[in-house]
Amino acid sequence: MWSISKYLLLAAVVVCLSVCFRLYSQLASLNITTLIHHQFKASAPPPTISFYKLSLQWPPAACHGMYTCKPPIPSDFTIHGIWPQDSNDEPIPPYNKNNPCTLKTPTPPTDLPIKLRPIEVYLTSIWPNLVDGLNLTANYQFWEYEWKKHGTCSDYPDDPLTYFKSALKLRLGIKTIVRFGRQTSWTVKQVADEVFHVLKAYPQIACNLNPSRTQKQLWEIRLCYDRPNPGQPPHTLINCTNILRVSKGKIIGPCKSLSDTIFFP
């Protein structure tokens, strides 16, 4: 009896020593440079989501100057994406495992065909890629791109179904965005005021150019939503900070002023 426990004790000591030795050699292989590097990475704070931007594109404009689209071209605003933005109205960068924005493991884009299967028909109808909207493979490429770029550091990094559903729900909740007819021209300010009258919140307006690059067109209307409480999807409309597109403090895109005239094709 006594000698068996002695062997057990000896075995325990041997196991412990080998674990300690492995830990020690792991520590020894970390030089100062890598230690500082790890420390630095761990302390770099990920950007904080301030609000969400729902980007709605006007297919007749996008398909006239930006993309060559296979018919049918939808004649209602379709979703381009739902983007978490920081307090400077810059997009939250996509997931980066060297500077992770979340402790969760984001769902890989390759999982979307399984995860989004239950809402595929709704996505195809109101969130299509515009180049080949009835081609499911091309649609998944578009959704995977949006997920990778804007979903993996959203509030739903491991829940693409909720992320995509949240945009569908917001879009379906908006019957009217602008009341003016097609083939008309307005200033950027008039379009923004019209959206404000209909929805009680100022949008961001994105323009593109027609194929001959002679005319500015209403390409997108983007709506801004307060960052929701944890566990809730975005729902409260707020005024967008910038009616014109701004990146790093500079106006970008063809529309440079609220008084620019834009065509609604």
Ligand X SMILES: *[C@@H]1O[C@H](CO)[C@@H](O)[C@H](O)[C@H]1NC(C)=O
How far apart are CB 195 and ligand X at their closest, in Å?
A: 11
Give the sign of the dihedral formed by CA 65, CA 68, CA 71, CA 72: negative
How far apart are CB 207 and ligand X at their closest, in Å?
A: 22
How far apart are CB 105 and ligand X at their closest, in Å?
A: 24
- How many angstroms separate the Cα of 96 from the Cα of each of 69, 93, 106, 140, 145? 33, 8, 10, 22, 15
Alpha carbons 230 and 233: distance in angstroms, whole number: 8
Stretch that binds ligand X, among 1-9, 28-36, 38-46, 157-165 (CB under 6 A): 28-36
| Site residues (CB under 6 A) for ligand X, limited to 226-245 | 238-239
Residues with Cβ < 8 Å from 52, sequence gap 6 or more? Answer: 82, 83, 84, 85, 154, 224, 225, 226, 227, 234
Alpha carbons 138 and 68: distance in angstroms, whole number: 14
Tokens of 257: 């002023």
Across 98-112, b (16+ Cβ under 10 Å) vs e yields eebbeeeebbebeeb
Does the footprint of ligand X cover residue 258 (CB under 6 A)? Answer: no
- Cβ closer to ligand X: 209 or 223? 223
The 192-221 site mask, x for binding ligand X (CB under 6 A), equals ---------xx-------------------
Stretch that binds ligand X, among 5-13, 30-38, 179-187, 227-235 (CB under 6 A): 30-38
Bridge-based pairing of strands 51-57 and 246-247 is: unpaired
- Cβ closer to ligand X: 104 or 197? 197
| Site residues (CB under 6 A) for ligand X, limited to 81-140 | 132, 135, 137-138
Length of the chain in residues, anyone? 265
How far apart are CB 139 and ligand X at their closest, in Å?
A: 9
How far apart are CB 238 and ligand X at their closest, in Å?
A: 5
How far apart are CB 34 and ligand X at their closest, in Å?
A: 5
How far apart are CB 162 and ligand X at their closest, in Å?
A: 25
- # of chain residues touching ligand X (CB under 6 A): 12
3, 25, 31, 43: residue in contact with ligand X (rule CB under 6 A): 31
Amino acid at site 245:
R
CA 81 to chain centre: 6
- Cβ closer to ligand X: 157 or 234? 234
Number of H helices, E strands in the chain: 8, 9
- Cβ closer to ligand X: 33 or 183? 33
Tell which residue, 64, 205, 55, has the closest CA to residue 130: 64
Stretch that binds ligand X, among 27-35, 95-103, 106-114, 154-162 (CB under 6 A): 27-35
- Residues at the contact surface with ligand X, assessed by CB under 6 A: 31, 33-34, 132, 135, 137-138, 141, 201-202, 238-239
